Every structure is written in structure tokens, then in C-alpha cells.
Chains A and B, each alone.
Chain A
Amino acid sequence: MLQPVQEPITSESPQRTIMFPNGLVGCPEWRRFTVEAPAELPGLLLLRSLDEPGIEFVLAPVLELVPDFLDQLAPADRAALAALGVGTVPDVQLWTTLSVYDDGTVTANLLGPLVLDFSRGCGTQVVLADSGWGTRHPIVVE
């Protein structure tokens, strides 16, 4: 049985489990993950699939990358996130997956951020319908 995430992930509480009831977008079979904080890079999370070995993501907090992200959203997208608790429930946080390209550029997927509810141990991935963010927002450029 999954142990729900009860408190924020830190290097002192290194690993928890979190459930995405609908999986990730395009990957509905990826539902159960462990979440841990890599000690060498504080502030990031590692999301590892329990359903498919080898599937793992590096996550960064969206509001650390783009502090006014919520203010920039279209009203419908802002309302959709608020309905999930983003900005209103402290334990509900917005995270983004990171990718790296051959030229060394690290990008964040701000079109499809993850909403993580650490108190309930569950998450969902949203697609922001009308805000203009992309899947390759550069955060580190060579």
C-alpha cells in the first residue's frame, strides 16, 4: 500500500510516494511514483515511476523559475489551477519537469506543469489551454 506524502520533501525526509490517479498526459499508465529530494541539488525533486522501471523525472518548482507565473496565466487556466488548490492550499504546489538537450540547454515544461498535493499524496498534470507557455522554456542555456 502506498504511503502518502505527509510533509514537504526534504533531504531529511528523503523519499515518499505519490499517486497520479489519471497518470501523466499521454502516459496514463504512469500513476505511482516515489518522490525524493536529491541532496546535491536542493530545491529540486526526483520523481521515479513505480509502474515502469527507468521512468524518472527531475522536477523544479514553477514559481521559483517564474515567480509571477500565476499572474501571467489566462483567467481560465488560473481558475483551473485554483480549483486544484494552487495558490490557495499551502501543501498544493506547482512543479515542472526538466529536460536537457544536446547543446546543454535545460528546459522546463510550463505548458504541462504538475500539481502536487503533498498532504494527500496525489498529483495531476494539467495542460494550460490558453496561456501561451511552451514545453521547452529555457532555464539554463549553454
Chain B
Amino acid sequence: MLVLTRRPGEVLLIGGEIRLTVLAVDGDRVKLGIEAPRSISIVRAELVEAVSEANRQAAHAPARVLERLRRTLTVRSVESP
């Protein structure tokens, strides 16, 4: 891993198309500004990990989901006047 030290207002260039600016440092929080082509996805790593985990959870659940939804619809139709 490349490790660089920057101060607020200083900039890093990544690959010629991505401009990363350190906007502010407040305690243990760093505020970054990122300029990049729209085609490049920029997202917090923990969100990607959460979606990845959700995919693996959902990938084996269809029978249970369908059964649960089927049961809900049956109950609702019974309850309907």
C-alpha cells in the first residue's frame, strides 16, 4: 500500500483522471473531495461489503421467501371481507 501524508487543501492525482482533495481533518474524521469520470463508481467500502453479504444471504432463500409471501397473501385474502 502506498502511504502519503497530505494537509487540508492538498491534492492527489490518481491515474490522471481522478482528483482527490483533502478538504478538512477534524479529530479522527477526514473529509475528502473526489473528482472522477462518471463511469467510475465511488462508494464507501462498507456499503459494498453490506451488499455483498446481502447477496449471499438472498441467494439461497427463494423457497423460503416465496413460501412466506404465499402465506402472507393467503392470510390477507382470508381476512378480506
Q: Hey, which bits of chain A sit against chain B, CB under 8 A?
A: 24-27, 30, 38, 40-41, 44, 46, 49, 54-58, 79-80, 83, 97-100, 104, 106, 109, 111-112, 125, 127-129, 134-136, 140
Contacts and interface: CB of A to CB of B under 8 A. Distances in A.
A127 B43 contact: yes
A70 B49 CA distance: 23
Interface of B: 38, 41-44, 47-62, 64-66, 68-70, 72-73
A46 B70 CA distance: 14
9 contacts: A25-B51, A57-B58, A57-B61, A58-B69, A79-B38, A106-B68, A127-B41, A135-B51, A140-B72
A58 B60 contact: no
B51 A127 contact: yes
A46 B64 CA distance: 13
Contacts, number: 101
Contact of A111 (B47, B64, B66, B70): B47
A112 B38 contact: no
Contacts of B43: 127, 129
B57 to A, nearest CB: 5
Contacts of A99: 54, 57-58, 61, 65
